[in-house]
Amino acid sequence: MVGYAFMGAAHSHAWRTAPRFFDLPLKPELAVLVGRNADAARDAAHRMGWAESATDWRDLLDRDDVDLIDICTPGDTHAEIAIAALRAGKHVLCEKPLANSVAEAERMVAAADAAAQNGVLAMCGYSYRRTPALTLARELVQEGRLGTIRHVRAQYLQDWLSDELTPLTWRMDKAKAGSGSLGDIGAHIIDAAQWVTGSPISGVSALMETFVTERPLGGDLVGLGGRGDSSGERGPVTVDDATAFTARFDSGAIGVFEATRFALGRKNAIRLEVNGSKGSIAFDFEDMNVLEYYDGSNDSRTSGFQRIQVGEPDHPYTGNWWPVGHGLGYEHGFTHQVVDLVGALADGRQPSPSFADALQVQRVLAAVEHSATNESRWQRV
């Protein structure tokens, strides 16, 4: 694994936990963790269960005991590491968004396609797909329960940047992060909306805004909260704080999307509502074990949204965890991601989402940014 901060901790937990709750066809062994700071990487490896640590990811390429490289670094490094790993015959799991540009993502897809010819596989880490309630939502759409999809509403609301003294981190540096709320959290709802509905976004009209243009220096690598020194040196914020856009899907459905890290009081509100000709679904990650479902064929006297507690043994993933009603948490999506990835590797089939799936999200991100910088003009994806 390359990187050991917020995502590194989540991925490490998943690699350790998956074989303890699921009967995996292959056993993950946490061989080596890579970070630039030798002491910090060594401490992280010990804490997170890795056998050893290193300071240069290139050292992994020639190691026979490394079959897969898990990339948990900022977006500006994804392409170089992933392409080199695939060419060296290593399977790859790469965090989202796939890259910082469409051009980089296209090169990654080309490398993944070439590697697949030799049985080397790649996957992008859109972990929210593995939330059981969202997976159930996709199943209901696939079963035709919603009929023809007409509306999609998607929001990702956080508030950790609302305080103007929250220090500057790499997540607010366009050179490292690619974008702000758009790529950091907006990418998740773009992927979720396309995945649940089964239809790609074909065009957008967008707005982007940066509310705080300078912040105190001294932020940590995690970049999620904290408070800086109001009297100290400040640096520029070069990404968006909030993004909003309308969209059209290939299916003809229309969508409304919002991503912000300034929604005071909202910590991790990922909301998706899909309305069809026969029914609707509604989901909010802040109540992640629940899916609301409306069946339009019900009698008007008893109709209404049905609150489904997604925890039954026949719901996606949940039968391997706790007794009914005990609920799952944020970390379980990463564990399910490992389960699906290991299963695909054992079968020699393409894991999902593929790099090509992630490239489609990258193209939507680029279209949103292009529209926002051109007076919200309609931009085809």
Q: Which ranges in the chain belong to alpha helices (H)?
A: 6-21, 38-48, 78-87, 102-116, 132-142, 174-177, 181, 187-197, 332-347, 355-372
Percent of the chain topping pLDDT 70: 97
* Residues 336, 112: Cα–Cα separation, whole Å: 22
Quick one: how many helices (H) and strands (E) in the chain?
A: 10, 16
Tell me the mean pLDDT in the region 66-80: 97
pLDDT at 232: 77
127 falls in which pLDDT band (50, 70, 90)? very high
pLDDT at 218: 79
Residue 201 has pLDDT above 70, yes or no: yes
- Crossing angle for the helix pair 132-142 and 187-197, to the nearest 10 degrees: 40
Q: What amino acid is encoded at 7 in this protein?
A: M
Residue 329 has pLDDT above 60, yes or no: yes
The two beta strands, 279-284 and 269-276, are antiparallel
Tell me the mean pLDDT in the region 13-41: 98
* Residues 308, 203: Cα–Cα separation, whole Å: 33
pLDDT at 314: 95
Tell me the mean pLDDT in the region 294-311: 96
The neighbour count for residue 132, using CB atoms within 10 Å, is 23
Residue 279, C-beta contacts closer than 8 angstroms, at least 6 positions apart:
140, 145, 146, 147, 293, 294, 295, 296, 297
Tell me the mean pLDDT in the region 208-230: 73
220 falls in which pLDDT band (50, 70, 90)? low
Q: What amino acid is encoded at 42 in this protein?
A: R
User: How many C-alpha atoms does 211 have within 13 Å on its Cβ side?
Assistant: 15
355 falls in which pLDDT band (50, 70, 90)? very high
Q: Are 363 and 381 in contact (CB under 8 A)?
A: yes
Beta bridge mates, 95: 125
Residue 226 has pLDDT above 70, yes or no: no
Residue 229 has pLDDT above 70, yes or no: no
Lowest mean pLDDT among 194-208, 227-241, 266-280, 352-366: 227-241
Tell me the mean pLDDT in the region 273-277: 98
Tokens in use for 163?
Answer: 């305080």
Q: Which fold has domain 129-352+360-372?
A: Dihydrodipicolinate Reductase; domain 2 (3.30.360)
Helix (H, G, I), strand (E, B) or coil at 143: coil
Q: Are 313 and 322 in contact (CB under 8 A)?
A: no
> Mean of the per-residue pLDDT values for the chain?
96
Percent of the chain topping pLDDT 90: 96
**Per-domain boundaries in the chain:** 6-127, 129-352+360-372
Whether this model's pTM surpasses 0.75: yes
The neighbour count for residue 152, using CB atoms within 10 Å, is 26
Residue 11, C-beta contacts closer than 8 angstroms, at least 6 positions apart:
1, 70, 72, 93, 125, 334
**Which of 224, 221, 330 has the alpha carbon at shortest distance from 3?**
221
Helix (H, G, I), strand (E, B) or coil at 165: coil
Place of tokens 């051009």: 103
* Residues 148, 297: Cα–Cα separation, whole Å: 14
> Following DSSP, what letter does each residue of 117-135 receive, concatenated?
TTT--EEEE-GGGG-HHHH
* Residues 55, 70: Cα–Cα separation, whole Å: 15
CATH of domain 6-127: 3.40.50.720
Tell me the mean pLDDT in the region 102-107: 98
pLDDT at 144: 98
- Three-state SS sequence of 74-117: CHHHHHHHHHHHHHCCCEEEEECCCCCCHHHHHHHHHHHHHHHC
pLDDT at 248: 98
219 falls in which pLDDT band (50, 70, 90)? low
Residue 222 has pLDDT above 50, yes or no: no
pLDDT at 227: 56
